[in-house]
Amino acid sequence: MASVFLYHVVGDLTVGKPELEEFSETETVASAIRAIRESTECGISVWKRRTNPGMIENNEMRQQRFVGILTSLDVVSFLARPQCLDDHAKAIKTLVSDVVVPNNALLKIVDPGTRLIDALEMMKQGVRRLLVSKNTIWKGMSKRFSILYHGKWLKNMEGSCGNLSANTSFSSSSSCSSPTPAYMNNNNFCCLSREDIIRFLLGCLGALAPLPLSSISSLGAINQNYSSIDASRPASEAMQKHPGDPSAFAIMESTPEGHHRILGEISVSKLWKCDYLAAAWALANLSAGQFVMGIEDNVSSRWLNDVCDNSKPRKHSSTNSGFNPAGPSFGVGRSTYRGRSAPLTCKTTSSLAAVMAQMLSHRATHVWVTEGKDDDDDVLVGVVGYTDILAAVTKQPSSMVPGTRSILELRSEMHH
């Protein structure tokens, strides 16, 4: 196990992270669209409002208020329902509580002194966000694990876990923190996503050697349990089944040899900054193959301003495409739904570091894996997502299959 996982705590990763602004389930879908466009991992955490704002809230109370994560795919699937297409102005005023899929297990509140290895284990088990208290002193941690972001050692508030020697071994399930971490009247939290974890790991390649130089195939990081839709099938099939993790459907066509070639995808990544109403119409009316021919990356949000009951200014805006959902052209032709459709792919021989860099540079939640002599012969063999990477970097050396790349090969691959 790499020492970086044992000697770092989640508090080390919160440097510069903004404080959490809770998105309430009583907000509208229109407000959610704006928030999702500004979010990481193409989704936002949704919360119930505090029943007593003046009362100090402990971790259990806050955890119970967490509802789930609302993604771009969730919103587009909702807007693609017949009743929403008939009255889109009413649809985007729908409360988020009627759209989000409740799943309280997707977020976990953790002490800032929680070891990184324990955080990775949580995310490998399905946790997608970690809520971490900012600028707090936590108790019950040894000096070995109580380093703050500024690099100074903290004194334990009430004792310690005992004397820990340099030869002490730690299991992923061990923890010296007290059962109920005491936060000192602090309600300031920040949220760590899986993308934050991957970004941190990419900065620790040397400490993770030789894993980053190994191919994703040799590490067993290729997930073959992906969701897919044949290009000739209706795109609306994406509304009828949950894709799992990653939240993506591969749109495929069959080759004469019986293999499958990927044409594009329906995913939270591709829908992240698209025109949600136009995408909803396309999802309801086009085939999967037609759908992936027209994802628009940058569109106008002007229409939201006319119907959104939340006038709070936002940090980002997208370029104007001239799309008017109230106009006669809405839902008539594919001219309202256009753009790039090429999916993000890599090879089975690609190194783990290259795939991580590829995901971060494209702000993607996954990379499709293909195999073949050239692009025309490539067939889809799997996908690599956040969970697959976390499982790969925490592999024990004895479970690794030999197969590494040279430094020159890695640099060349990452450069291209």
Amino acid occupying residue 288: A
CA–CA separation, 101 and 241 (whole Å): 13
- Within the chain, which residues score under 70 in pLDDT? 1, 135-187, 295-341, 375-376, 396-416
Burial status of residue 253 (CB atoms within 10 A of its CB: 0-12, 13-18, 19 or more): middle
Nearest to 186 by CA among 147, 149, 138, 146: 138
Q: How many residues does the chain have?
A: 416
pLDDT digit string (tens) for 342-393?
Answer: 899 999 999 999 999 999 999 999 999 999 877 667 899 999 999 999 999 9
Rounded Cα gap, residues 181 and 10, in angstroms = 14
CA atoms of 44 and 245, how far apart (whole Å): 16
Estimate the crossing angle of helix 29-37 against helix 72-79, to 10 degrees.
150
Phi, psi of 287 (to 5 degrees): -75, 165
| Token pair 């993000």: residue | 344
What pLDDT score was predicted for residue 187? Answer: 63
Q: In the numeric block, which tokens belong to residue 158?
A: 């009430």
pLDDT at residue number 121: 95
Sheet holding 189-193, edge to edge: 107-110, 129-133, 189-193
User: Around Cβ 237, how many Cβ atoms within 10 Å?
Assistant: 16
**CA-based nearest residue to 335, from 351, 322, 354, 320:** 322
pTM of the predicted structure, to 2 decimals: 0.76
**Cα radius of gyration rounded to whole Å, the chain:** 23
Which residues lie across from 45 on neighbouring strands?
Answer: 69
